[in-house]
Amino acid sequence: MFDEQERMNEMWDDYFAKDDAIRERYWREAEDMRNESLMSDEYQEYMQRVYDAGFGENAEAYEADWKRTLNYYENQGV
């Protein structure tokens, strides 16, 4: 009987371990989707700022403009 009880306990442990693994996998997938959504939102907001600043979709020109502006004010001692 003791061996049977041990076997049953191991079966339940395996069952719950698999169940936990499945829950963790789905939680991680959901977390990845949330992170991807946040990154996409941030990118869209950034690109909207680029567009609103008059650069269309040219983020490189937008960044270069900011770099020139920053350098100008740093050289002015401001």
User: pLDDT band for position 78 (50/70/90)?
Assistant: low
pLDDT at 21: 84
- Give 23-76 pLDDT, tens digit per residue: 899 999 999 999 999 999 999 999 999 999 999 999 999 999 999 999 999 999
pLDDT at 51: 97
Residues 42, 48, 49, 54, Cα dihedral to 10°: 160
pLDDT at 44: 97
pLDDT at 2: 64
The token duo for 12 is 């339940």
